[in-house]
Chains A and B, each alone.
Chain A
Amino acid sequence: MSDARVIDTGDTPARPSAATAPAIGRGLRVPGRGRNAAAAPVRFTFDGRTITGRAGDTLAAALLADGIHLVGRSFKYHRPRGILSAGSEEPNALVGTDRGDGRYEPNTRATTAEIFEGFRASSQNRWPSLRHDVGAVNDSLYMLFSAGFYYKTFMWPKSFWNTVYEPLIRGAAGLGAPPTERDPDSYAARHAHCDLLVVGAGAAGLAAALAGARGGAKVILVDEQAEAGGWLLSEPEVTIDGRTAWTWLADTLRTLAAMPNVTVLNRTTAIGYYHQNFVGLCQRLTDHLAQVPEGAPRERLWKVRAKQVVLAQGAIEKPLVFAGNDRPGVMLAGAARTYLNRYGVRVGDRAVVVTAHDAAWAAAFDLARAGTTVPLIVDIRPVVGGDLLAQARSLGIETLCGGTVTDTRGRLRVSAVRVNPVDAAGRAGGGRWVACDALLMSGGWTPSLHLFSHTGGKLVWDEADQVFLPGRATEACRCAGAGTGRFGLAAALADGAAAGAAAAVDAGHPAETPAFAVQGEGSMAGTACRDLPTDRNGAFAKAFVDFQNDVLAKDIRLAVREGFRSVEHIKRYTTNGMATDQGKTSNINGLQIAADALGRAAPSVGLTTFRPPYTPTTFGAFAGYNRGRLFEVTRRTPIDAWAAERGAVYEPVSLWRRARYFPQPGEDMHAAVARECRAVRAGVGLFDASTLGKIEIVGPDAATFMNRMYTNAWTKLEPGRCRYGLLLGEDGFIRDDGVIGRMAPDRFHVTTTTGGAARVLTTMEDYLQTEWPDLNVWLTSTTEQWAVIAVQGPSARAVIEPLVEGIDLAPGRFPHMAVAEGRICGVPTRLFRVSFTGELGFEVNVPSRYGRAVWEAIHEAGRAHGIVPYGTETMHVLRAEKGYIIVGQDTDGTLTPADAGLDWAIGKAKPDFVGKRSLARPDMHRPDRKQLVGLLTQDPNVVLEEGAQIVAERDGPIPRTMIGHVTSAYWSEALGRSIALAVVAGGKSLQGRTVYVPMPDAVHAATVGGTAFLDPENTRLAV
């Protein structure tokens, strides 16, 4: 910031002299201090520079130990940003992490990423470098980027949106770059069931787990951090039951580890809390490892169903809102204490503290004792406890109670803070500058209620502490510890133990509530505040509320001035709380400021809704095993492997993969399909029809059931005969079709379309179970019991006859639409004489494990006849030449049997069948219904596009009335020209007329005709 904008230019900042200037990067690690005091050195790089940290460090801890606060540039203004917190709530310190072998992840919080030998991290949203960033010009243009700037700035002219605004915004704003490589990692998933799930392994969570587990309840205790302990890790001097915090922690974890009914999961975040105590946990397994074991999953998503849940998520420290509160070196006081006590890192040599809460005083005292100069503690409150003042005095720390902070300086790190007294009326007096290299702030604590809120649990406003607290729960759930607003270690232990014991009892296990004696705990009193008072014009103050989305206090006030009243609207207009941290450090401050601007109480303004996941979660974790080969089930027929060995090209058909065609060397699809078509029409072809749905319908009422389900009449169908069956919905539209064989008076072998198999069975079960439960008939899926080999073509009989036993295939004895049981190649078969090609054809059903061998035997036997395997594409051409429909391709759920030219399949004498009543509705008989017709293009070489629209006139105004569309179109090798099926409004009355099909290359004329292009008299079937 230039001096010109400083209104009171009179008070120049006191700059530290050369003698007192800290030697950055040296001596910040306090010997013997921290959980990892004795850990091995670990080398990693940040923006290419090699830095040595310690095993057990987070990236943030290691950078701070090296004197680095500047780690990134902000989203909108590209302002230099540092490390604000020491946990997953971090809004600022987002980095790209590279764990090698293509394992790159953007937007990782430096405060949670664990370093290891060879770890690489890089700063984001800066160019050309972190220290010199061109985008920082946005910081000077900040007046343009006020609340709602997207809506205001980029509205007009419209044409600028695609050409100017969007590229500008996308280029300038944003976080890290997405990875360019395919994710090399794998991910895992696991279901778990327990009596008690405890979220958070701080003091409250540990006490809850202990109390819950002692009576035998199955307990899962999870914590997002690398080690359990929560705040105990940051406050080692306190004692529990006469033991130091860390000794008690180690003892407790040992106790829990020895209990077979307890599972403790570290590095595991409870990301979402759903109905009936279903909680999603994301466990990070390998991100912290220098050597990832071969094949090890990176993360595991636990899907936990708990009888009872205890939420011991603790509380998140609030930043204070004042001008320049985002400068690197400005950090939460509790975070500074964590870095010191847990990692042995002093976050600076000269730290000023500004606070509204007692806890920050303890941070100041710890740092002062560890060698950091603390020149000043500014407390917002006019009065603080005498013991705090006495301690400060004894450590030589100046104190200012009833003070405020109004500005900071320092280009890439805070170098001075402007401090003002505040009078009894709340007005800030004149400021003075105090030199520092770290500014620690605390606005008190926000109970972490995210998971509670996921369940729709009600939050209640606590006026005294100015916090939201958990209210009525909607699930079997208890909150414990700081999350309930009961701050402090003794309270957390007592609360956790009570919650754990009560939960265990509710889960049906005995429990007793252990008691804990705590000594040496600091006081946890404080006050809540909105943006701090200032003597300057607040319209120019860059007092940040949401650090990640660069939302200022004045943005929220502006939104209120512009008429926004609901916190949900203010959130969306200003983007406060909408960044990847979901406002963990900003929501309450934003609410307080909005409430102040509105002159209303906070609860009436409301709190925005928390939604899963609690912290950003990888897509991989959600996908779990379902990627690559396991992305989705790929169903393969018993003959699939044979086709694969012969180079078949596949296509997906519902979950199946089916051989589409069998290209010979040098053939494209067109050539292969033409060859396969010629073979079937002239000789014989072999087709894998195993995917056809099959349902065995058995029982004395089987024929009655068939009569009610299908349009056709079944009573007179003799055993040993087949019939084409047409199935409608109750709305009268075609749902499915297939050939159905009567195997015995009480047994039908039903076939369905490949994609319709499950749906048809469901529909049948529905009617049978709920409408006609009196019928004695049962349905069994036999789709996979039978492999189905279609042998089609004039030579079909000659090929299979030598292989078949027990069935006389002579034309008179086994005519078209006959079915019989016998043997083929020595194994049982249900042999159907049916044709989906218009040629003499058989469908050989054999038990599926014999499918491949029988296929090979037929293929071998067919060599002498020039047998050719063919795929679904050829099948489609051959059936289209005959005008046989494919349900779902030539029909779309709006075609009646009459529309499709299938009224012959309706049993007119039947009193009822599914869909019959709807066929009598007046609309079903309108002459302008879309009806299935054949189309022949005037240019025989043009194959129309399936889905192409049809119009009545070649020319005319646009938009033209579309009278139908092409449903099937192929090159017919048999006819030496193209053919097409189409649905056209009033199509039956347009026979012989010309219609037009606009396609990208030209408008093609076509003549409407019948649907059977080849052998309409079916002479080829009767051989």
Chain B
Amino acid sequence: MLLITCPYCREARPEVEFAYAGEAHIARPADPSAVGDAAWRDHLYIRSNTRGLHRERWRHVNGCGRFFNAVRDTVTDKFAATYKAGAPCPIDFAREGAER
């Protein structure tokens, strides 16, 4: 069982308190009706499926209830960072060379 640091509680807490919530930084378009069919399909269904550092969302559902973002290595399962929703990713993916 992993320990996950909730950026709101500022505490490492057991994995059973958390729920995974998919890839992070996929913002809902402000005006979906202005988005073309192909772009909307990509928004709905196309994900990076990264091997390595992956930006993803978690929810401290059995704790403070907040959704937050995390960078986790999908190979080692280790969390590189967790940060509040809306905050910029603290890891420079271009520099890490981990972006898809």
Contacts and interface: CB of A to CB of B under 8 A. Distances in A.
Contact of A912 (B2, B31, B76): B31
Contacts of B28: 730, 771
Contact of B85 (A305, A769, A917): A769
A769 B1 contact: no
A735 interface: no
A762 B61 contact: yes
B99 interface: no
Interface stretch (A274-282, A884-892, A928-936): A274-282
Interface in A756-780: 762, 765-766, 769-771, 773
Interface stretch (A433-441, A853-861, A918-926): A918-926
B65 interface: yes
A731 B44 contact: yes
A917 B40 CA distance: 8
The 4 closest A-B pairs by CB, nearest first: A917-B32, A769-B67, A276-B3, A771-B28
Interface in B44-94: 44, 57, 59, 61, 65-67, 76-78, 85-86
Contact of B1 (A303, A917, A921): A303
Contacts of A912: 31-33
Nearest to B29: A917
Contacts of A762: 19, 59, 61
Contact of A305 (B3, B44, B59): B3
Interface of B: 1-3, 19, 21, 27-28, 31-33, 35, 37, 40-41, 44, 57, 59, 61, 65-67, 76-78, 85-86
Nearest to A276: B3
Given A762-B61, A918-B40, 18 more contacts: A275-B1, A275-B2, A275-B77, A276-B3, A278-B2, A730-B44, A731-B44, A766-B67, A769-B67, A770-B57, A770-B67, A771-B27, A911-B31, A912-B32, A916-B32, A920-B33, A921-B37, A921-B40
A916 B34 CA distance: 12
A1016 to B, nearest CB: 34
Contacts of B40: 917-918, 921
Contacts of A731: 44
A901 interface: no
A918 B33 CA distance: 9
A274 B14 CA distance: 13
Interface of A: 274-276, 278, 303, 305, 456, 474, 730-731, 762, 765-766, 769-771, 773, 911-912, 916-918, 920-922
Contacts of A278: 1-2
A918 B28 CA distance: 13
Contact of A922 (B19, B37, B67, B76): B37
Contacts of A911: 31, 33
A305 B61 CA distance: 22
B3 A765 contact: no
Contacts, number: 54
B33 A916 contact: yes
A376 to B, nearest CB: 53
A276 B32 contact: no
Contact of B35 (A766, A773, A917, A922): A917
10 contacts: A278-B2, A765-B65, A766-B67, A769-B67, A770-B86, A773-B85, A911-B31, A916-B33, A917-B33, A921-B37
A81 B77 CA distance: 44
B67 A773 contact: no
Contacts of B33: 911-912, 916-917, 920
Contacts of B61: 762
Nearest to A922: B37
A917 B3 CA distance: 38
B37 to A, nearest CB: 6
B1 to A, nearest CB: 5
Nearest to B1: A278
Contacts of B37: 921-922
A917 B61 CA distance: 28
Contacts of B78: 275
A276 B2 contact: yes
Name which of B32, B33, B78 has the most chain A CB atoms within 10 A of its CB.
B32
B23 to A, nearest CB: 12
Nearest to B69: A770
A274 B21 contact: no
Nearest to B32: A917
Contacts of A275: 1-2, 77-78
Nearest to A920: B33
A922 B3 CA distance: 45
A193 to B, nearest CB: 11
A474 B77 CA distance: 12
A917 B30 CA distance: 12
Contacts of A771: 27-28
Nearest to A768: B67
Contact of A770 (B3, B77, B85): B85
Nearest to B37: A921
Contacts of A474: 76
Contacts of A303: 1
Contacts of B65: 765
Contacts of A730: 28, 44
B49 to A, nearest CB: 19
A766 B41 CA distance: 20
A769 B3 contact: no
A765 B1 CA distance: 25
Contacts of B27: 771
Contacts of B2: 275-276, 278
Contact of B67 (A276, A305, A765): A765
Nearest to A912: B32
A507 to B, nearest CB: 15
B32 A456 contact: no
Nearest to B27: A771
Contacts of A773: 85-86
A916 B21 CA distance: 22
Contacts of A918: 40, 44
Contacts of B57: 770
Contacts of B66: 769
Nearest to B77: A275
A696 to B, nearest CB: 15
A922 B37 CA distance: 8
Contacts of A769: 66-67, 85
Contacts of B32: 912, 916-917
Nearest to B31: A912
A298 to B, nearest CB: 23
Contacts of B86: 770, 773
A456 B1 CA distance: 15
Contacts of A765: 59, 65, 67
Nearest to A278: B1
A52 B55 CA distance: 65
B76 A456 contact: yes
A983 B36 CA distance: 30
A719 B37 CA distance: 38
A769 B28 CA distance: 13
Nearest to B21: A766
Nearest to A921: B37
A922 B38 CA distance: 11
Name which of A276, A305, A766, A921 has the most chain B CB atoms within 10 A of its CB.
A276
Contacts of A921: 37, 40-41
Nearest to A769: B67
A879 B37 CA distance: 37
Nearest to A913: B32
Nearest to B66: A769
Contacts of B76: 456, 474
Nearest to B85: A770
A1 B78 CA distance: 56
A779 B26 CA distance: 23
Contacts of B59: 762, 765-766
A275 to B, nearest CB: 5
